[in-house]
Chain A
């Protein structure tokens, strides 16, 4: 008895020691620049290096690593480390958690206005007007203002955003169709798709990221709510847009049925590059694969068309695009000055190595021709230069979507029912408006 009592005391003591030892061991083992006291402000000891952490969603090898290496070579006193996060819900949660600590993230990229808004509300983004003068509107052009929050800039919109339709020029030529004009409509698109459709070739494919491009552009022009403050989700333009797409799926069969796209996990970019679709709604992110002729060989030229408006009468349509990749500084960072120095350098040309993946700098300090050349190096003959200039590098009246995620999700749930033939169009529009209305309230 006595012996076992003694033993139990020892065991308990050992375990407690292990637990406590574990904790302090953890803290002690973590000395590689994560703790504030090992990361002194430059003013204290100017000789010591400032270390910055830059968070972005682009895979490191697709440009950011080269950017950071170039900076580090030029600036021995400020070392930047790139940390990649995936731009989905958990990825953004990870970033926000790191931002809260103030030491694990100094600079970060925003890809959606709603996310930036949340970070500003949480006090995690520096108001850029408090830093040295950098005229965002002058440098980035009028589209930058879409990223203002309460009339202030909390980040630099560093790149041009693009959404458009990729065209297989060879198939267009075979069908005797010209590259469509910039102001084409969904009816035109429907006709194109019907004519381009063949056995095992879809007329039109849509990437998930671009599925709602026309819907968003329409309410960006009309306004998310009507004049009386009620939801505008039941507008007739949406109805027309939905009906055309529905007809393309079920009558013309020129685009995959929604259920097919949902359940086949269609690799739309691969299919387009293999010639299994004549048109593809997507964005500049396809350039990476399209330029990779080794893994995605294709012999046709690619032309471009703008996202179509719903009909000819629609006057206030806006195009998805504008600017993106908004670089913010963590308001809890201890190295804001160094971070600001890097941010300006990045926007004004430091980001060029990312051009090959389709990221064209928005700053006027960068010669965009240089960026375009970088992007198309070695594959110039694979693109129809005229439509490339008109569409990809054209000027459009653009917008940033500011509808909250809850509403986007509710809208998707409703239109899915329509495209799965579980709900008619009028009920769909009514429900979308109703659920939006509930959220506004």
Chain B
């Protein structure tokens, strides 16, 4: 595996090149952190703060805005939504990938097509439905719809399909049912895919602005993206505060990424595939 895994001779230069590219990728992130430590009159003028101004960071946690509550609400909505979406999507993906039934492919295309509807035009009907279900202005208006991810079904279906058929086939021969195969075989094998979907879905929930904006009106229910709106003043933007809050908001995302990517790396060893 020298070609692909590489020796020190190829690995070191590649690492350096990738690090340089990586720094380019995170420039906005660095600017965000730098700005959060600047004083208001320095924004846009300097790349680095002339001295560390901690006021913005202190202000978001102790000031007029209840970022503790925004944080908690975001965690609640994102965790429940993501957990639901991973489970629900995996179930349906298995149905689409491993079971043959009448109308499967056309049903799947209907699924896919629903992904294509621009969200702007279904806001009004969604509002009507939420109102009827009595979940407008509750966290359920974000969690419940968030549990149904067409992307998740599609993505996991693709991954389940690339798991060798022989594995499930031999399990069938041993008399296992679909439920058993799903929980005992497919789910453990698909850990990298499930973790990847969880990371991506979590980031969507975490950063969801439009749904939260329209469907939550009580400030005590606000999530972080709505909290950030506090920094948009009437005719200008409080960049220091916004960037301080954004820096704090990105931390859980990084934690989720780090946890998730462990599973991605662990992956499945070849022996597991061979059964």
Q: Do these two chains really belong together in a complex?
A: yes
Chain A residues with CB under 8 Å of chain B are: 1, 3-5, 7-8, 11, 15, 19, 22-23, 25-27, 29-30, 32, 34-35, 57-62, 65, 83-84, 86-88, 90-91, 93-94, 97-98, 100-101, 104-105, 207, 209, 264-267, 269-270, 273-274, 282-283, 285, 288-289, 295-297
Binds A, one of B11-19, B130-138, B153-161: B130-138
Bitwise, B189-229 to A at CB < 8 A (1) or not (0) is 00000000000000000000010011101111000000001
12 A-B Cβ contacts within 8 A?
Answer: A4-B178, A4-B179, A7-B177, A26-B138, A30-B138, A32-B220, A61-B63, A83-B217, A91-B213, A97-B215, A285-B234, A288-B233
Bitwise, B20-63 to A at CB < 8 A (1) or not (0) is 00000000000000000001110110000000000000000001
Say whether A97 contacts B40, CB under 8 Å: no
Say whether B235 contacts A207, CB under 8 Å: yes
* B151 close to chain A: CB less than 8 A: no
Q: Cβ of B229: which chain A residues have Cβ within 8 Å of it?
A: 86, 91
Say whether B41 contacts A270, CB under 8 Å: yes
Q: Cβ of B178: which chain A residues have Cβ within 8 Å of it?
A: 4, 8
* B144 close to chain A: CB less than 8 A: yes
Complex: chain B residue closest to A210, CB-CB: B235
Say whether A267 contacts B44, CB under 8 Å: yes
Determine the distance from Cα of A289 to Cα of B63 in the docked complex, in whole angstroms.
19
Contact of A94 among B64, B131, B175, B217 (CB under 8 A): B217
Q: Cβ of B131: which chain A residues have Cβ within 8 Å of it?
A: 101
The minimal Cβ–Cβ distance linking B185 to chain A, given in whole angstroms, is: 13
Determine the distance from Cα of A25 to Cα of B213 in the docked complex, in whole angstroms.
22
Contact of A90 among B40, B213, B217 (CB under 8 A): B213
* B127 close to chain A: CB less than 8 A: yes
Say whether B217 contacts A98, CB under 8 Å: yes
Complex: chain B residue closest to A8, CB-CB: B179
Say whether A34 contacts B137, CB under 8 Å: yes
Q: Cβ of B98: which chain A residues have Cβ within 8 Å of it?
A: none
Complex: chain A residue closest to B43, CB-CB: A267
Size category of the B interface is 35 or more
Q: Cβ of B143: which chain A residues have Cβ within 8 Å of it?
A: 22
Say whether A86 contacts B235, CB under 8 Å: no
Bitwise, B141-182 to A at CB < 8 A (1) or not (0) is 101100000000000000000000000000000011111100
Say whether A101 contacts B136, CB under 8 Å: yes
The minimal Cβ–Cβ distance linking B139 to chain A, given in whole angstroms, is: 7
Say whether A105 contacts B138, CB under 8 Å: no
Complex: chain B residue closest to A3, CB-CB: B177
Contact of A22 among B39, B140, B235, B236 (CB under 8 A): B140
- Contact (A97, B214) CB under 8 Å given A4-B180, A30-B137: yes
Determine the distance from Cα of A101 to Cα of B178 in the docked complex, in whole angstroms.
46
Say whether A25 contacts B232, CB under 8 Å: no
Complex: chain A residue closest to B40, CB-CB: A295
Minimum-distance CB pairs A-B, first 9 = A4-B177, A26-B140, A27-B134, A26-B135, A61-B64, A285-B235, A30-B138, A104-B217, A295-B40
Determine the distance from Cα of A27 to Cα of B175 in the docked complex, in whole angstroms.
44
* B10 close to chain A: CB less than 8 A: no
Determine the distance from Cα of A15 to Cα of B233 in the docked complex, in whole angstroms.
44
Contact of A97 among B39, B88, B127 (CB under 8 A): B127
The minimal Cβ–Cβ distance linking A277 to chain B, given in whole angstroms, is: 14
Q: Cβ of A105: which chain B residues have Cβ within 8 Å of it?
A: 217
Q: Cβ of A7: which chain B residues have Cβ within 8 Å of it?
A: 177, 179
- Contact (A90, B44) CB under 8 Å given A26-B138, A83-B217, A101-B131: no
The listed residue with most B CB atoms (<10 A of its CB), out of A62, A83, A97, A297, is: A97
Complex: chain B residue closest to A34, CB-CB: B137
Determine the distance from Cα of A4 to Cα of B88 in the docked complex, in whole angstroms.
18
Determine the distance from Cα of A25 to Cα of B127 in the docked complex, in whole angstroms.
18
Contact of B234 among A23, A59, A60, A83 (CB under 8 A): A59
The minimal Cβ–Cβ distance linking A2 to chain B, given in whole angstroms, is: 9
Q: Cβ of B219: which chain A residues have Cβ within 8 Å of it?
A: 83-84
Determine the distance from Cα of A35 to Cα of B218 in the docked complex, in whole angstroms.
12
Bitwise, B232-255 to A at CB < 8 A (1) or not (0) is 111110000000000000000000
The minimal Cβ–Cβ distance linking B55 to chain A, given in whole angstroms, is: 9
Determine the distance from Cα of A100 to Cα of B124 in the docked complex, in whole angstroms.
11
Complex: chain B residue closest to A65, CB-CB: B64
The minimal Cβ–Cβ distance linking B17 to chain A, given in whole angstroms, is: 30
Say whether A269 contacts B210, CB under 8 Å: no
Q: Cβ of A274: which chain B residues have Cβ within 8 Å of it?
A: 41
Determine the distance from Cα of A93 to Cα of B212 in the docked complex, in whole angstroms.
12
Determine the distance from Cα of A403 to Cα of B230 in the docked complex, in whole angstroms.
29
Complex: chain A residue closest to B229, CB-CB: A86
Contact of A93 among B141, B175, B176, B214 (CB under 8 A): B214
Q: Cβ of B134: which chain A residues have Cβ within 8 Å of it?
A: 23, 26-27, 30, 35
Determine the distance from Cα of A30 to Cα of B221 in the docked complex, in whole angstroms.
10
Say whether A267 contacts B236, CB under 8 Å: yes
Complex: chain A residue closest to B87, CB-CB: A15
Q: Cβ of A100: which chain B residues have Cβ within 8 Å of it?
A: 127
- Contact (A265, B44) CB under 8 Å given A30-B138, A83-B219, A93-B214: yes
Q: Cβ of B230: which chain A residues have Cβ within 8 Å of it?
A: 59, 84
Determine the distance from Cα of A57 to Cα of B143 in the docked complex, in whole angstroms.
28
Q: Cβ of B144: which chain A residues have Cβ within 8 Å of it?
A: 19, 22-23, 26
Q: Cβ of A273: which chain B residues have Cβ within 8 Å of it?
A: 41
Complex: chain A residue closest to B219, CB-CB: A83
Determine the distance from Cα of A296 to Cα of B238 in the docked complex, in whole angstroms.
13
Give me 9 other A-B pairs in contact (C-beta within 8 A), A91-B229, A209-B235, A285-B234 excluded: A4-B178, A25-B140, A26-B135, A83-B219, A88-B232, A94-B214, A97-B127, A98-B217, A295-B40
Complex: chain B residue closest to A266, CB-CB: B44
